[in-house]
């Protein structure tokens, strides 16, 4: 019963964050439209945008319009929210099934100093971090294996891998495609290096839907298998 309660709590946390992202997207899009007709909204909108520019060095090396700027931020949030949900689900399942954790090195002094639960918690954190550094496709396959559930259809996996690879472009390469992106993403929406991969509105809708499909699928299957 405790497992199901914690699973429900995690699902509600994910839905809450996802709802916040959705509401933010609607507010930003409406603001972009309404500022053209309302001077009061335009004043506060411009102030908001100036603050974001100062925080994130907007336009420091590439010039993008306001909509693209916020689409970039929303893609960061969508991928991060998805990753957080997967990590918390992994932690919950591993806490219930610590035998799934591979052997790890721990000193005798640590064994004497730490409680059993703390040792397990640390081992889980190290294991999850190791998984997260895999290529997106390998990382997701490992997740489904640990959760002991059937993997979702390959098309969704490929879309999510491309989302993660594109998000990484924004973090590490100013949204320009590179060899790493081309290697990580099987569903290549860009064929060459140095192409600008800023997400547009349609892409953002796709990313939001893919995130929701993956997390809903995982939670539903975990509930059936581990309940």
pLDDT in the model for residue 108: 63
pLDDT in the model for residue 163: 93
Q: What predicted TM-score, i.e. pTM, was given to this entire model?
A: 0.83
pLDDT in the model for residue 111: 65
Position 53 confidence tier, pLDDT thresholds 50, 70, 90: low
Give the whole-number percent of the chain exceeding pLDDT 70.
Answer: 89
For residue 203, the enclosing domain spans: 2-226
Position 61 confidence tier, pLDDT thresholds 50, 70, 90: low
Q: Is it the case that residue 86 has pLDDT exceeding 80? A: yes
> What is each CA distance from 61 to 30, 58, 174, 184, in whole angstroms?
27, 8, 8, 24
Domain count, the chain: 1
Residues 135-147, mean pLDDT to the nearest whole number: 89
Residues 156-179, mean pLDDT to the nearest whole number: 91
Position 59 confidence tier, pLDDT thresholds 50, 70, 90: very low
């Amino acid at each position: 019963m405790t497992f199901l309660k914690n699973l429900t709590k995690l699902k509600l946390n994910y839905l809450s964050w996802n709802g916040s992202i959705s509401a933010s997207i609607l507010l930003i899009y409406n603001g972009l439209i309404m500022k053209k007709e309302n001077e009061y909204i335009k004043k506060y909108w411009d102030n908001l945008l100036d603050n974001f520019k100062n925080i994130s060095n907007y336009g420091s090396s590439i010039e993008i319009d306001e909509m693209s700027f916020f689409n970039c931020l929303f893609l960061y949030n969508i991928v991060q929210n998805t990753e957080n949900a997967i990590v918390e689900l992994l932690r919950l399942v591993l806490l219930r099934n610590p035998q799934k954790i591979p052997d790890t090195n721990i000193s005798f002094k640590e064994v004497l100093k730490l409680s059993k639960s703390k040792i397990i918690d640390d081992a889980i954190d190290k294991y999850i971090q190791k998984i997260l550094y895999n290529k997106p496709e390998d990382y997701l396959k490992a997740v489904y294996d640990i959760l002991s559930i059937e993997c979702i259809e390959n098309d969704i996996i490929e879309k999510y891998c491309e989302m993660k690879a594109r998000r990484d472009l924004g973090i590490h390469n100013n949204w320009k495609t590179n060899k790493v992106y081309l290697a990580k993403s099987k569903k290549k929406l860009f064929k060459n290096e140095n192409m600008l991969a800023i997400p547009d509105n349609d892409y953002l809708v796709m990313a939001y839907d893919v995130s929701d499909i993956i997390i809903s699928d995982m939670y539903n299957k975990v509930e059936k298998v581990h309940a």
